[in-house]
Structure formats: structure tokens, C-alpha cells
């Protein structure tokens, strides 16, 4: 029997990777968990035989499915305490060679789907004056890398959205955390990554070189997705939840370096920046 006092989790994109491992952790704790995938048969291993699990079909680019899934979750468990916006995928291409259809499709899933999912869950959290939204972004939410400009753009968009959301919902008791992993040992590169190969010679040493190594790195990433899931759970149990949760040494080192470089660049141009105001 599910513990009615336990937090109710709703996780998108549970078929593999972070979503799958996190769902196993919450379910094993006995917490009510909504596990979703575009085809719910792919999360049958998580839900079968558990009365604290609800498996649902959910394509986050389908507004009707989002509304139906939130309604089903609230009908079964009474509420949603933690929303994990995990569904999404990657697309690699040199900026000049990016294909319009691929770019827009990724934005629909990574950005507009996440926005819609959040809007659907907020009314219930707002009514209870309680909730926590975890948005899975990336190291790419802080910095772009060759070949991943469009992917980084989706994650930067979610970071900006989350900044505003956190300010709007903090007085309502709703917390917002962006989870920002580096490379983790999931099948992201094999299953959740699309590419447009670079054919322009001028990009061979930048976007082309990085894309060529991406798939070969799969299975050797330093990050442990189970430990990542434990970290996500931990921040939902803290009174002062962080706005940012950086995961893995690779992400920590690169994000802190990037932030330091950015501050140095801003400070170096301080006089020019301040000089843009009307004279006092």
C-alpha cells in the first residue's frame, strides 16, 4: 500500500537514463510515482506489480496528453509534489549546417514541452502552496560547445525560464531547481541524440571533430546516473532548495571555469558598460 504521506513524484521521460533510474529510486522508497514515456509499455518494468506506480503514455509535445496525464495523476494520488521535467533529447550539427525541421522538433520537446508540462502542474501546486519542480538542463545550460549550439540553446532557454519561474513561485511555496549534469553513463548518445554530419571542411576541426567522438564516448562517461538520482532526491528534502544542482566533476569544473571567465570579461569592460548610461 502506498504511503499517503509520502511525496508524490511525476517524472517525464522514464524509459531510460536519468528518468528510469530516478523512478526506480522513488518507487523503491515506496513513494507514489507517475512514470511516463511516449509508449508506456517501455516503463512496464517500473510499474508492474506496484500500487505506488502509475504508468502513463506521455509525449510532452502533445498538449492533450499533458492535460490528461496530470489529471490522471491527481485523480490517483491526489496531488503532485515533485515534477521532474526530464523528457528531451539532443541534436548535433554545426550552426551553419543545422536543419530547420530538426531544430524545431528539438525545441518542441526540450523547451515548449517542458513549458507546457510546468504550466499544467502549477495550478495544483499553487493551490496547496507547496511543490518542487526539477528541470533537467545540462552543462550546456551554461556554455555552448562545438556541434551542440542548438542543443545548448534549448538548455539556456530552460535556465532563463527557471530563473523567472523561481521568482514568481517562491512566495507561493513552490521551489525550482535546474539539474545540470555533465556526461553520465546513460544511452543518451545512442538513443537520444540526432546528428546532421558536418560536410563543410571549415568546421572539420570544431563541430565535425566533436561530433565524431560523441558516440564513441558512450558507455565510458564518468557520471553514475543512480548517484545522480540520489542527489536529486536529496535536494527535494532540503528546506532551502538550490536553484542550481551541478552534477559530476566534469560539469562542476567547466561551469565554475566558465563563470569565472565571464565575470573577468565583464569586469574588464566595466568602464565601457557603465559609460552607456546617461551622464549624471
Q: Report, as residue numbers or ranges, the catalytic residues.
A: 151
Residue 212 to residue 210: CA distance in whole angstroms: 5
Q: Are 193 and 91 in contact (CB under 8 A)?
A: yes
Counting every residue written for the chain, the total comes to: 280
Which residue has cell 523528457?
Answer: 87
Q: Are strands 82-85 and 244-247 parallel, antiparallel or unpaired?
A: unpaired
Residue 202 to residue 214: CA distance in whole angstroms: 19
Q: Compute the C-alpha angle 138/73/51, nearest 5°.
A: 105
Question: Across the strands, what pairs with 225?
Answer: none
Q: Are 155 and 106 in contact (CB under 8 A)?
A: no
Which residue has cell 519561474?
Answer: 165
Question: Across the strands, what pairs with 184?
Answer: 223
Phi, psi at 265, each rounded to 5°: -65, -40
Going by C-beta distance under 8 Å and a sequence separation of 6 or more, which residues neighbour residue 35? Answer: 11, 14, 19, 23, 27, 43, 46, 47, 53, 54, 55, 56
Amino acid at each position: 500500500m502506498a504511503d499517503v504521506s509520502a511525496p508524490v513524484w511525476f517524472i517525464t521521460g522514464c524509459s531510460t537514463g536519468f528518468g528510469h533510474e530516478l523512478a526506480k529510486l522513488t518507487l523503491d522508497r515506496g513513494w507514489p510515482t507517475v512514470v511516463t514515456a511516449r509508449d508506456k509499455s517501455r516503463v512496464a518494468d517500473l510499474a508492474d506489480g506496484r500500487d505506488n506506480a502509475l504508468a502513463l503514455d506521455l509525449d510532452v509535445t502533445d498538449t492533450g496528453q499533458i492535460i490528461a496525464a496530470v489529471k490522471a495523476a491527481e485523480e490517483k494520488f491526489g496531488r503532485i509534489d515533485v515534477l521532474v521535467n526530464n523528457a528531451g533529447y539532443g541534436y548535433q550539427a554545426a550552426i551553419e549546417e543545422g536543419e530547420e525541421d530538426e531544430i524545431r522538433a528539438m525545441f518542441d520537446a526540450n523547451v515548449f514541452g517542458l513549458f507546457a508540462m510546468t504550466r499544467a502542474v502549477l495550478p495544483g501546486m499553487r493551490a496547496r502552496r507547496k511543490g518542487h519542480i526539477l528541470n533537467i538542463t545540462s552543462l550546456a545550460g551554461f556554455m555552448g560547445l562545438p556541434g551542440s549550439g542548438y542543443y545548448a540553446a534549448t538548455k539556456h532557454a530552460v535556465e532563463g525560464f527557471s530563473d523567472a519561474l523561481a521568482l514568481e513561485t517562491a512566495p507561493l511555496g513552490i521551489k525550482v531547481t535546474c539539474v545540470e549534469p555533465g556526461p553520465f553513463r546513460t544511452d543518451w548518445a545512442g538513443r537520444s541524440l540526432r546528428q546532421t554530419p558536418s560536410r563543410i571542411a571549415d568546421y572539420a576541426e570544431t563541430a565535425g571533430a566533436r561530433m565524431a567522438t560523441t558516440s564513441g564516448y558512450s558507455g565510458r562517461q564518468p557520471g553514475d546516473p543512480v548517484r545522480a538520482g540520489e542527489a536529486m532526491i536529496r535536494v527535494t528534502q532540503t528546506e532551502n532548495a538550490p536553484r542550481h544542482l551541478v552534477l559530476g566533476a566534469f560539469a562542476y569544473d567547466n561551469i565554475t571555469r566558465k563563470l569565472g571567465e565571464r565575470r573577468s570579461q565583464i569586469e574588464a569592460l566595466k568602464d565601457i558598460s557603465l559609460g552607456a548610461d546617461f551622464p549624471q
